[in-house]
Amino acid sequence: MDSPNVARIVGGDMTVSDKIRALDAEGYPRADIARVLGKRYQHVRNVLEADKLHPPKEKPLAADPSPGVQDAGRHFESSQRLSVEAGGVVRLPPELLAVLQAKPGSVVIAEVQDDGVKLFSNGAAWDRVRALVKQFGIDPKRDLVAELIAERRAEAAQDD
């Protein structure tokens, strides 16, 4: 198990069960998976056998080392199971971060919807704002902020 894929999978930020699935998808025997992950054989077997009865919605990682925005969607269906850590921290797996084009220090926009929360990349959120502005027939080159500030200053000057 000296493959670079093994090091990427084992060192990745995914759950132990997802690592088991990914290594199984790479074709490694259960005993080797258990040894590399430091888990009992029975644990590996239970995860893989349970998947036969109730397949997970997400698929194991593919062999390519760094999924991009275009191909990240093939690693999972439409949902991921995420854990909430102490302090309300939710860690996003690398595949979702790639889809969101999120890197350390970047901004991700969360929108509360009726049945949950939807995450957008900062660029996608701006695209939605531009479409909304265009929908109302406003020239996108028009500086609405500067106009608002000028209006407020004029109102303040009248009040004085």
Phi, psi of 116 (to 5 degrees): 160, -150
What residue segments make up the domains of the chain, in order of their start?
4-91, 100-160
Chain mean pLDDT for the chain: 80
Q: What is the pTM (predicted TM-score) of this model?
A: 0.40
User: Closest by alpha carbon to 95, among 127, 128, 62?
Assistant: 62
Judge whether residue 11 has pLDDT over 60.
Answer: yes
Q: What pLDDT is attached to residue 157?
A: 92
Query: Rounded to whole angstroms, how far apart are CA atoms 48 and 142?
Result: 57
- Return the percent helix, strand and coil in the chain, to nearest 5: 55, 10, 35
The residue assigned the tokens 């949902």 is 79
| Averaged pLDDT for residues 133-145 | 83
